[in-house]
Amino acid sequence: MTLEKLVASKSVNPKTLAITFDDGYQDIYKYALPILKKYNAPATVFIITDYIGKENTWDVNLGWIRYEHLNEREIESLIDAGWEINSHGISHCSLRGLDEEGIIRELSRSKTILQERFRQPVRFFAIPFGNVNERIRRLAIKTGYQGIAGFYPVKYYKNPLPPGIILRLAVYRTDSLKSIKQKLSNNGALLKEVLKQNAINLCSNATIIVNSLR
Ligand SMILES: [Zn+2]
């Protein structure tokens, strides 16, 4: 199911899921699109508007490896295949480091750019580095988003969610079929994966720190 349909559904089969990709790398077009097409499964991609068709110079990774982002033509192909295009901001900066005006700019400008360029509604925002706070949640709703997707803070494992918050469980290259099954479960195995993701999210803050030193 697309994210929009899943969020709009009052009750869904517990086996339903929405697949989302952050950052909009070119390998989504090369590898994910053909596989998901085969299974007739649409997905959502969260695009960084300043990096359409460019390398990921925003990212601090091991060995400073560079990857290409999707270009406009590839994004159009995803839309043609029934995918949703949503926003991952203008520059992939940490919104927590910005003042209110800066946060609104990242939210609002990226939404406008995508809507105008691809003539598609942009309903959701995936926050770079995963951590949504109350101010950012409120501003996302104020700037016209239906929801903001981050990672899965463990505090929401048993507690109710504030309006507009979308929890996601990340799948990394280090994941196995077993760990993916655990993420899709509804028991203690899920909690284990949530805790693991909380630890990984702490590490992604290293990128924020290094970027602030550059
Ligand atoms: Zn990202």
Q: Does pLDDT of 18 surpass 60?
A: yes
Q: What is the pLDDT of residue 112?
A: 98
Which amino acid appears at position 10 of this protein?
Answer: K
pLDDT band at 58 (very low <50, low <70, confident <90, very high): confident
Q: Report how far ligand 1's centroid is from the alpha carbon of 25 (Å).
A: 10
Q: What is the pLDDT of residue 68?
A: 93
Q: Report how far ligand 1's centroid is from the alpha carbon of 190 (Å).
A: 23
Mean pLDDT, rounded, for 71-95: 96
CATH topology of domain 3-170: TIM Barrel (3.20.20)
Mean pLDDT, rounded, for 142-162: 92
Q: Report how far ligand 1's centroid is from the alpha carbon of 141 (Å).
A: 20
Q: Does pLDDT of 64 surpass 80?
A: no
Q: Report how far ligand 1's centroid is from the alpha carbon of 23 (Å).
A: 5
Q: Does pLDDT of 99 surpass 90?
A: yes
Q: What is the pLDDT of residue 205?
A: 67
Q: What is the pLDDT of residue 214?
A: 56
Q: The tokens 């105008």 sit on which residue?
A: 116
The Cα 73–Cα 97 span in angstroms is: 33
CA angle 103, 161, 4 (to 5 degrees): 70
Name the more confident of 107 and 199.
107
